[in-house]
Amino acid sequence: MALLAAARLRFTEVGFAGTSLDDVAAIAGTTKGAVYHHFKDKKALFRAVYVEVSRQLIAAVATSTIAGGSPGEVALHAFLIHAGEPACQRVLFTDGPVVLGAAECRAIDTEHSQGLLNRLIEHQVAPDLLASAGSETLAKMLLAVFVESAHIIASSAEPEPAMAGIKTVLNRMIVALSVPPQDPRGT
């Protein structure tokens, strides 16, 4: 849809506050009335863009062809790469929580990522941890960690070093979740 593409472009370039519905209509080659025909207001249009960007981020992670590492490490690497794209940074991690609120953003992100995270967790997490917490709880916890990591990178004055440090920590976390606990008796 031309309106969503135009809105995504403007929200990515100048943010929610800098975007007017007149701008979106002009880029889409339509009228402001046409925008209102499809969307109640600018916030509703932003929400539609947020949903699209969130869905595309998760699809990019799910179909990633990055080589090396466990499925969890590959997904993490793909997430950090794609979450660094301008639309993700601005729409999902900068403006989204302010415009939509953290709870609504979390609900949208969970809707699009729950299946992928559940599959990764069931494939990678140590059985005892999976049994004690359950895949849905672990998926929500990991999503929160990944999203907060992306927020840190988005707000960093030096995103490259921030991403490198976060990737190191998250890789260790994934490895720790994968390893069954050691028997204190050494057996």
* Residue with more model confidence, 138 or 51: 51
Q: Percentage of the chain with pLDDT > 70?
A: 95
Instruction: Using alpha carbons, select from 74, 79, 70, 67 the residue that is nearest to residue 178.
Output: 70
Mean pLDDT of the chain: 88
Side chain identity, residue 156: S
What is the tens place of the pLDDT at every residue in 138-172? 888 888 888 888 888 888 899 889 988 998 998 88
What are the start-end ranges of the E strands in 13-153?
A: none
Confidence at residue 118, expressed as pLDDT on a 0 to 100 scale: 84
Confidence at residue 75, expressed as pLDDT on a 0 to 100 scale: 84
* Residue with more model confidence, 71 or 166: 166
Confidence at residue 29, expressed as pLDDT on a 0 to 100 scale: 95
Contact 167, 77 (CB under 8 A): yes
Query: What is the total residue count of the chain?
Result: 187
What is the tens place of the pLDDT at every residue in 108-136? 998 888 888 888 888 888 888 888 888 88
Q: In this structure, which long-range contacts are made by residues 37-41, counting pairs with CB atoms below 8 Å and at least 24 apart in sequence?
A: 38/1, 38/3, 39/3
User: Cβ–Cβ contacts within 10 Å for residue 50, how many?
Assistant: 24
Contact 152, 164 (CB under 8 A): no
Confidence at residue 171, expressed as pLDDT on a 0 to 100 scale: 84
- CA dist 99 and 35 (Å) reads 19
pLDDT (mean) for 23-52: 96
Residues 6+ apart with CB under 8 A from 127: 180
* Residue with more model confidence, 113 or 21: 21
User: Cβ–Cβ contacts within 10 Å for residue 115, how many?
Assistant: 12
187: pLDDT strictly greater than 60: no
Write down the domain spans for the chain: 2-178
Centroid of chain to Cα 46: 16
Contact 57, 91 (CB under 8 A): no
Q: Which residue has the tokens 């929400």?
A: 47
CATH superfamily of 2-178: Tetracycline Repressor, domain 2 (1.10.357.10)
